[in-house]
Amino acid sequence: MSKKLKRSLLFWLFLSPIVVVILFPYAVMAISSLKSATEVLNPTWWPEELHWQNFPEMWRTSGIAPALVNSLYVSGMSTALTILVSIPAAYALSRYQFAGRNAFRQFLLISQMLSPIVLVIGLFRLVAGAGMIDSLNVLVIIYTAFNIAFCVWMLQSYFSTIPRDLEEAAWMEGASRTRTLFTVFLPLAVPAMVVTAIFTFINAWNEFVIALTMLRTEGSYTLPIRVFSLVAGRYTVDWHYVMAAAFVASVPVAILFAWLQRYLVRGLSIGAVK
């Protein structure tokens, strides 16, 4: 047996307990989503009959389609807005010395500690006072505000690794500062922007407590709230539909994530050192 094969077996043996525990709930989800309404109450590992019709039935009855659209809208808009606002701030922090620079950084750090849940009552009062309960755009603004600190921090540490010489060379050639920014600097920063964008998107996609508080009518629910509402406060729960809904809500992001995770590791390793 080659050395690498032996090592691989040993490592997989080590990892197998944690892999089993991690996969367990998702296996339960996939299996339960394919059982019939009566069989789902039986904890068997393999359904007698694969009920694929659970998915179209769930799609029709659970209102998950509008929730999917809402989630895509909120997450997409939050990501775009966060990146748009964070880039200039990160650029200022990495390229300028100015009075208040440290104060701004500390302000961002504190904003990270005040999580949405700690502020939820105050936010609810503000939003309710403005008559904007149920507005998805309010959600976009709140998610953006809570993601800015992390994005600025990540982008700034990446920006600092881009050598100044490149920009200075462009200035020497007579390019303006703005032009240099768009043609030289930002193209180099694309990897960091992609990583922070993924982060923001996943955060917004998965956010629970603010959406639970601010969204009161079914038409405005995002996915986590929609699926939660299928379970919470009900006397009977159609678990096979719930699991099918959870499956539909999870799989697209999981695939996207599996594909992008290598960039995530690389991006974080750059960001975290500074």
Binding-site string for other proteins from residue 20 to residue 59, where x marks contact by CB under 8 A and - marks none: -xxxxxx-xx-xx-------xxxxxx--------------
Q: DSSP code of 266?
A: H
Contact 219, 201 (CB under 8 A): no
Sole window of 16-24, 51-59, 61-69, 166-174 interacting with other proteins (rule: CB under 8 A): 16-24
Q: For the segment 166-205, give every residue that binds other proteins (CB under 8 A).
A: 202, 205
Nearer to other proteins, 144 or 170 (CB): 144
Pick between residue 2 and residue 190 the one whose CB is nearest to other proteins: 2
DSSP string, 134-169: T-HHHHHHHHHHHHHHHHHHHHHHHHTTS-HHHHHH
The reply on whether position 69 binds other proteins by CB under 8 A is no
Minimum distance of other proteins from residue 117's CB (angstroms): 5
Residues with Cβ within 8 Å of 243's Cβ and at least 6 positions away in sequence, in order, are 28, 29, 30, 32, 33, 40
Intra-chain end-to-end CA distance of the chain, in Å: 43
Q: 217 vs 58, 114, 249, CA distance in Å?
A: 19, 27, 19
- The site string for other proteins over 70-109 (x = CB under 8 A, - otherwise) reads ---------------xx-xx-xxx--x-x-xx--x--xx-
Min CB(160)–other proteins separation in Å: 15
Q: How many C-beta neighbours within 10 Å does residue 261 have?
A: 11
Kindly state the greatest CA–CA separation across the chain: 75
Which 230-269 residues touch other proteins, going by CB under 8 A?
231-232, 239, 242-243, 246, 249-250, 253-254, 256-258, 261-262, 264-266, 268-269
Least Å distance, CB 62 to other proteins, is 13
Retrieve residue 52's tokens. 């694929």
The rounded distance, in Å, linking the Cα atoms of 71 and 139 is 10
CB closer to other proteins, 170 vs 225? 225
Looking at the Cβ atoms of 103 and 190, the one nearer to other proteins is 103
What is the total count of residues that contact other proteins (CB under 8 A)? 98
Strands (E), the chain: none
Residues 103 to 162: which contact other proteins by CB under 8 A? 104, 107-108, 111-115, 117-126, 128, 141-142, 144-146, 148-149, 152
